[in-house]
Amino acid sequence: MLVDLNIKDFASKVASSEPVVPAGGCVAALSGVMGVALLEMSADSAFGHPSGEKHTEFFQETKTLLANLHEELLTYIDGDAVAYQGVLDVYKQPNCTPEEALARKANIQAAALVAIEVPLKISTACLTALEPGISMLPKVKRGVLGDLKIGLLVLKTCVEASLAAARINLSLIQEDRFADAFKAQINELQTNFDLVIAKLS
């Protein structure tokens, strides 16, 4: 599994053209894990510090939320690789007879649905972490404020990247009803993201 690789091996796999996975979605999910981890560290540092003790309940709830998002994002590293490989595999299916062409088209559609769902889940998870992360800014001690800000910037980039991946994968969706539903999800996530990021300015 990709999540079990060390940093050097993971980076080498991304850099290699063979195989073509892991690629962008996997990297976005990994960056999301790292962004959340920085927020977790920042929340942990608040305990035992006067500024944090004023917000004990907030930090306890935030730590639980971030821990769950951390584990969720880890699953998307391999999840995106599996989804993308699924798309590559169905394009290799035979397409000589009308029956084969019909089956291939249906399989491409099924694989494309999975390929767009994963980046949307990555976006949602990172966006979920951003708002409590921004709320932490006036509550953490000064020594970790820089780490918290970096974590927020990493999560911001992760949302932007995974939404871009979702938009790219829209081109694979052949049925308008599915395409329209995904466009609505993307637009809703973009709107929510813009509102949250406005608080970071």
The pLDDT value recorded for residue 47 is 66
The pLDDT value recorded for residue 74 is 97
- Residues 6 or more apart in contact with residue 27 via CB below 8 angstroms: 14, 161
Task: Provide block-wise average pLDDT over 10 residues at a time, the chain (201 residues).
Answer: 94 86 92 98 77 78 96 96 90 87 88 92 98 92 92 97 94 88 96 93 72
The pLDDT value recorded for residue 51 is 65
CA distance 65 to 178: 31
Burial class from Cβ neighbours inside 10 Å (0-12, 13-18, 19+) for residue 15 reads exposed
Domains along the chain?
A: 19-198 (1.20.120.680)
Assess whether the previous peptide bond of 50 is cis (omega < 30° from 0): no
The pLDDT value recorded for residue 161 is 97
The pLDDT value recorded for residue 22 is 87
